[in-house]
Structure 1
Amino acid sequence: MRDHERPPSARRAELLERAYRYVLTHGLAELSLRPLAAAIGSSPRVLLFLFGSKDQLIRDLLGRARVDELAALRRAREAGGADDFAAAVRATWGWLVDPAHRPMLVLWVQAYARSLSEPGGPWAGFARQTVEDWLGLLAEIGGGADGGGADPALGLALLRGALLDLLATGDAERATAVVERYLGLLAAAAR
């Protein structure tokens, strides 16, 4: 049976959720089955049986993280307003800058970087898919690129750059000021 053809099971779903909580704390970069299995109350053999391979487990963990990421971004966008690009970007940034979300964002950066440096294996396509996901969400706001100078690609570049800066430096004040400067320029261009 191929990895992606494994039948769903309650035990598999339970262990995936536990493994997800584990990687939020410990990361994916150096994931090893033995410590993971011990931490989540399983064994490497059971994990391999349920997921088929370590690569498939990583793909499933990335998929699980993607579900959380997209749900959070949608909530932030909706909180900002479905038709107000600047408010939606501001609300999204508010979610990104919240220290409670740091573990998911660090996991995202790890997976993004591995997808670029190791384009095969379980990371394949992660970076491209996340760019498409975020662009899609930003394009839905206020008519996308035609919405008063609101360019989803520029908004995405701003958010990603500010996020990487924040994760590297911890300087939320400076990164937030950059986001606000962009939103101010956007408002001035729309006048």
Structure 2
Amino acid sequence: MSRVRSYLLRNGLAGLSLRPLAQELGTSDRMLLYYFGTKERMVAEALSMDDRRPLLRIRGVRDSADAPEDAAGLRRLLEELWAESHSPDRRALMPLQFELMTASVLHPDRYGPLMRDLITEWTDVFAPFFVRLGMSDERARNEATLVFDAIVGLLYGSLADGDWDRAAVAFDTLLDRLESGWTPDGA
């Protein structure tokens, strides 16, 4: 699977054909389909094999005794996530991740489910932090969506223009504006 992942990182999704990949792996395209079922499933599995994914770390924090109990703690966790998400070693993955995002818009029948699952997974990880702050489930999901979508947008913009410093300032500004509103419902 690591060789599939390496191939995808080098070549991307655009025009991904199983024959050249299979040839590089020393197998056949039919064996790849037998093993994975679909090309899209293969892509999903290759992306999910990263055991250093920030999502896994955040999920671990959420389920631990160290989970933030207040807005300041949640902000610190999001700042750590931001630093981790745009670190140089994570940047190598971003073009493929954004290509997958674009493919999910252009080919919703093929890649849409993968992107929807990813977005749902992140929202499901973040929402309990907001519930812990006293928000209703609906508001917590909205806050989680806002934070996730903002991070994705800032990462995408930074990848496109290379201005990581400006994005970091924008992220801090976003947290400044949001943190004061992370109060229990009705407060």
Normalised-by-shorter TM-score class: 0.7 to 0.9
Which residue number corresponds to residue 119 of structure 2? Answer: 131
1:75 to 46, 57, 74: 57
Q: TM-score, structure 1 length as denominator? A: 0.74
The answer on 1:93 being equivalent to 2:85 is no
Which residue number corresponds to residue 156 of structure 1? Answer: 148
Classify 1:23/1:190 alpha carbon distance in 2 versus 1 (closer, same or farther; 3 Å): closer
The answer on 1:57 being equivalent to 2:45 is no
Does the CA-based 8 Å contact 1:162-1:179 persist in structure 2? yes
Does the CA-based 8 Å contact 1:139-1:152 persist in structure 2? yes
Tell me how many residue pairs correspond in the alignment.
170
Alpha-carbon distance in structure 2 between the residues aligned to 1:160 and 1:74: 17
Alpha-carbon distance in structure 2 between the residues aligned to 1:145 and 1:158: 20
- Structure number with the bigger relative contact order (C-alpha 8 A, sep ≥ 6) is 2
Does the CA-based 8 Å contact 2:154-2:167 persist in structure 1? yes
Give 1:88 shift: 1.8
Give 1:137 shift: 1.3
Does the CA-based 8 Å contact 1:25-1:103 persist in structure 2? no
The answer on 1:28 being equivalent to 2:3 is no
Which residue number corresponds to residue 4 of structure 1? Answer: none
Which residue number corresponds to residue 3 of structure 1? Answer: none
Cα RMSD of the aligned pairs, angstroms, is: 2.9
Alpha-carbon distance in structure 2 between the residues aligned to 1:129 and 1:182: 25
The answer on 1:168 being equivalent to 2:150 is no
Which residue number corresponds to residue 5 of structure 1? Answer: none
| Unpaired segments ≥5 residues, structure 1 | 1-15
Give 1:71 shift: 4.1
Which residue number corresponds to residue 112 of structure 1? Answer: 101
Does the CA-based 8 Å contact 1:33-1:44 persist in structure 2? yes
Q: Which has the higher helix share?
A: 1
Q: TM-score, structure 2 length as denominator? A: 0.75
| Unpaired segments ≥5 residues, structure 2 | none
Q: Secondary structure at the match of 1:177?
A: helix
Deviations 1:6-42 (A, max 9, x none): xxxxxxxxxx332122102221222122321232233
